């Protein structure tokens, strides 16, 4: 008999992977400041990881499978925490990525001053996500575990498992783990 996946535990594990990419973003920004040069392909891969893995894969599960249930069944405190906190921060992260992409394009087209906007948005995203993840690990997820009943939590686990299997067929988790490791080998000093 296979054991049931624990959706919240999985989300905490995904945070560890996402935080590793935040370190890559920070180091790549520092390297850009030091050298004045930008590796556009690497930044494009970082943005793709953020959008496809951190946002679509991870925030996708949060928004579609957990936060929606917290809003519906967790009471007013949960609703406030999710709609005025977590969802707003997910959106702010998307804005940073759009601005980062815009600045990269401008830089590539010869506007060298855009390096300021590249670094500002990349690093601001890392600050935002570190705070966001700490809040989820320390407050939001424990709140969900306390306030939702066992049957609902088990339902969320089942939906997370199905979500994971579907992504696994497309190779999402394996692909982005490889992308992370490749960028770490370039930007993280051992």
Stretch that binds Fe ion, among 2-10, 22-30, 102-110, 131-139 (CB under 5 A): 131-139
Query: What is the number of alpha carbons within 13 Å of residue 121 lying toward its C-beta?
Result: 22
| Least CB distance to Fe ion at residue 54 (A) | 8
Q: Which is nearer to Fe ion, 22 or 104 (CB)?
A: 22
| Least CB distance to Fe ion at residue 49 (A) | 14
Report if residue 136 touches Fe ion, rule: CB under 5 A: yes
Instruction: Report the length, in residues, of the chain.
Output: 190
Q: Which is nearer to Fe ion, 45 or 62 (CB)?
A: 62
- Per-residue contact flags (x/-) with Fe ion for residues 72 to 111, judged by CB under 5 A: ----------------------------------------
Cβ neighbour number for residue 111 with a 10 Å cutoff = 12
| Least CB distance to Fe ion at residue 110 (A) | 36
Integer Cα distance of 172 and 174 in angstroms: 6
Tell whether the torsion through CA atoms of 11, 16, 22 and 28 is positive or negative.
Answer: negative
Q: Which is nearer to Fe ion, 13 or 111 (CB)?
A: 13
In terms of Cα–Cα distance, which of 119, 114, 65, 63 is closest to 91? 63
Stretch that binds Fe ion, among 46-54, 70-78, 105-113, 136-144 (CB under 5 A): 136-144
- The alpha helices in 36-171, defined as continuous H runs, are 40-48, 60-61, 68-73, 75-81, 87-108, 115-135, 141-147, 150-169
Q: Which is nearer to Fe ion, 136 or 157 (CB)?
A: 136
Q: Which is nearer to Fe ion, 85 or 106 (CB)?
A: 85
- Residue 8, H or E segment: helix 7-35
| Least CB distance to Fe ion at residue 189 (A) | 27
Q: Binders of Fe ion among 20-79, rule CB under 5 A?
A: 62
CA geometry: angle at 185 spanning 175 and 172, to 5°? 10
Q: Given the structure tokens 């977590």, which residue do they identify?
A: 86
| Least CB distance to Fe ion at residue 176 (A) | 15
CB 122 within 8 A of CB 161: no
Size of site (CB under 5 A) for Fe ion: 2
| Binding footprint of Fe ion on the chain (CB under 5 A) | 62, 136
């Amino acid at each position: 008999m296979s054991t049931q996946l624990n959706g919240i535990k999985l989300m905490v594990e995904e945070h560890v992977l996402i935080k590793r990419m935040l370190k890559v973003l920070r180091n790549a920004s520092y390297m850009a400041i030091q050298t004045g040069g930008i590796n556009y392909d690497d930044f494009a891969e970082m943005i793709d990881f953020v959008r496809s893995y951190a946002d679509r894969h991870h925030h996708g599960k949060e928004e579609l499978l957990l936060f929606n249930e917290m809003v519906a069944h967790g009471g007013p405190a949960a609703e406030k925490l999710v709609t005025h906190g977590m969802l707003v921060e997910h959106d702010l992260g998307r804005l940073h990525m759009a601005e980062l992409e815009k600045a990269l394009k401008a830089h590539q087209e010869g506007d060298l001053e855009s390096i300021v906007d590249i670094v500002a948005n990349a690093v601001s995203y890392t600050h935002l996500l570190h705070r966001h993840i700490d809040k989820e690990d320390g407050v939001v997820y424990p709140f969900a575990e306390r306030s939702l009943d066992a049957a609902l939590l088990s339902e969320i686990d089942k939906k997370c498992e199905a979500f994971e299997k579907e992504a696994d067929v497309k190779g999402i988790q394996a692909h982005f783990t490889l992308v992370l490791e490749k960028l770490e080998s370039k930007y993280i000093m051992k």
